[in-house]
Chains A and B, each alone.
Chain A
């Protein structure tokens, strides 16, 4: 079964508008972390934001925020005031909290295109 599901293969957004990229996850571990990475066309993987399963507040990093809804097992990424440089693939990932296990499991990604 898929542990991380990203249902939007591609998204378009107008420059300066906000956009939400969806992510749902599946785990039975009470302790886990959720991550978003950005992969521009140059290919590198850039860490954007992290949310721990016990964190009470939604994580924010500049224009990025993570809408964490634990009961629904969703961890959507919200990008405010989109910029042309935000055009990239975005991956949601999860790390389950078993001691010693720190590998990330990735979703299939969402390609975001920001239009001028």
Chain B
């Protein structure tokens, strides 16, 4: 199994630009999570999908952030417009019913200048 695949691995963008992060969960997994990791705030849950339906988006910082899961094998996290304070590592993770742990992707390191 290829594991959770995130792209791009690194992204540098200018303030005000739109950024789209992508995630392919492990085949057969029906839960998908987006986390953000910063030095100041640690690992924060942004949004969580179950069977492609958003269950909890209370961690999404503001309206500039949006996430979609159009099908079981793909999810996007979009930031528009991006700001320097959005600089962080964004992780996607997936799991499935009956499985205890979540498996993480390699993360996307986003730098907004």
**Given A35-B101, A52-B100, A108-B42: A103 touches B106 (CB 8 Å cut-off):** no
B107 at the interface (CB under 8 A from A): yes
Q: Which stretch, A14-22, A39-47, A64-72, touches the partner chain B? A: A39-47
Interface residues on A, range: 20 to 34
Contacts of A91 in B (CB 8 A): 43
Interface window among B17-25, B48-56, B62-70: B48-56
Cα(A103)–Cα(B33), bound, Å: 7
Q: Are B48 and A102 in contact (CB under 8 A)?
A: yes
Question: Among the listed A37, A43, A50, A108, which residue makes an inter-chain contact with B100, where contact means beta carbons less than 8 Å apart?
Answer: A50
> Which of the residues A43, A47, A50, A103 comes within 8 Å of B56, measured between beta carbons?
A103
Closest 7 CB pairs of A and B: A45-B104, A106-B43, A50-B100, A47-B101, A103-B48, A103-B45, A108-B42
Known A35-B100, A102-B48, A102-B50; contact A45-B91, beta-carbon cutoff 8 A: yes
In the bound complex, how far is the Cα of B101 from the Cα of A47, in angstroms?
7
User: What class of interface size applies to chain B in its complex with A?
Assistant: 20 to 34
| Interface flag for A84 (CB, 8 Å) | no
Is B100 touching A104 in the complex (CB atoms < 8 A)?
no
Task: Digitize B27-58: 1 where CB-to-A-CB distance is under 8 Å, 0 elsewhere.
Answer: 00001010100000011010010100001100
